[in-house]
Amino acid sequence: MLAKTTMTDSYFFGLEGFIVIAVIVALSLAITKFSRKVSSKYLIEKIAQLDQTTYQHIANVPFKQLNQTIDHLVLSTYGIFIIERKKFNGKISGDQVDSNWIIQTKKDQQTIPNPLANLTAKISSIAQELNMQEKYFYPIIAFSNSTELEVEQKLINKSVANYDQINETIQFYQTPKISKEKISELITLLETMKLDK
C-alpha cells in the first residue's frame, strides 16, 4: 500500500529543494566570479581602469622580429610597459637571476624558464622594431590571481604582479620619459602592425 503524502511533506520537500538549488546557484556564481578573475578579459578590464588620457593600451600586437605576439602593451609618457600574462594555480617562486622558477601546486612541483628574464630578452627586438631605445621599456609579468607570488620582494609590484595589482605596478613608474607626440606615433605604428599581421 502507498503511503499518503501530506501537505506538510510537500512543503518540506519544496523547501529542501529550494535550499539545494540556492546553494548550487551560489556556488556556480562564486566559480564564475573566480574564473573571471583569472582570465585575460579580466586583466584587460583592470588595465582599462587606468586614466585613458595618460595610458594607452593595445593587446595582442605581433612583432615580426620576435615571430610572436605580445599580450599587452601599455604606452604612456612614463614608459612602454610590456605585459605578458601567466596563468597558474599554486605558488611561484624565483629570483630575477634564477634561470628557472618553481611552481608548487597541491599535487606536484615543476620548473619553468624564468618568465621575467625571457620577457626582458625580447625588449631589444621590440625596441628595434619600434625604433626606440631599450631604456623606455618595462617588462611586467602578470600572474593570474590564483597564483601566490613568492618571488624576490623587489620584483613584486614592479616587474611581477597579480592581475589585481597590475595598475599599481604600471603606476609605480612616475618619471616622464617620452613625449605625448611620440606616444601618438607609436600607437599609430602598433595599430598598423596589428592590421598587417
The CATH number for 116's domain is 3.40.1350
CB atoms under 10 Å from CB of 194, counted, come to 14
Which pLDDT belongs to residue 22? Answer: 60
| Max CA separation in the chain (angstroms) | 89
Whether the CB-CB separation of 186 and 79 falls below 8 Å is answered with no
In a domain, 13, yes or no: no
Which pLDDT belongs to residue 196? Answer: 80
In a domain, 175, yes or no: yes
Which pLDDT belongs to residue 36? Answer: 42
Which pLDDT belongs to residue 1? Answer: 52
As a whole number of angstroms, the distance between CA 76 and CA 57 comes to 9
In a domain, 92, yes or no: yes
Domain count along the chain: 1
In a domain, 65, yes or no: yes
Which pLDDT belongs to residue 194? Answer: 87
Q: H helices of the chain, where? A: 7-37, 40-48, 115-130, 166-171, 180-196
As a whole number of angstroms, the distance between CA 141 and CA 83 comes to 6
Euclidean distance between the first and the last CA atom of the chain, given in angstroms as a whole number:
75
Looking up cell 624576490 gives 152
In a domain, 10, yes or no: no
Concatenating the DSSP letter of every residue in 73-122 gives EEEETTEEEEEEEE--SEEEEE-TT-SEEEEE-SS-EEEEE-HHHHHHHH
As a whole number of angstroms, the distance between CA 130 and CA 124 comes to 10
Which pLDDT belongs to residue 88? Answer: 87
Q: Which residues pair with 162 in a beta bridge?
A: 143
Which pLDDT belongs to residue 190? Answer: 94
Q: H helices of 61-179, where? A: 115-130, 166-171
In a domain, 111, yes or no: yes
Q: Structure pTM?
A: 0.79
In a domain, 9, yes or no: no
Q: Which domain holds residue 103?
A: 38-196
In a domain, 153, yes or no: yes
Mean pLDDT in order along the chain per 10 residues (197 residues): 53 60 58 52 94 95 92 97 94 94 92 95 96 96 94 92 96 95 95 85
Closest to 163 in 3D by CA, of 31, 69, 34: 34
As a whole number of angstroms, the distance between CA 96 and CA 128 comes to 24
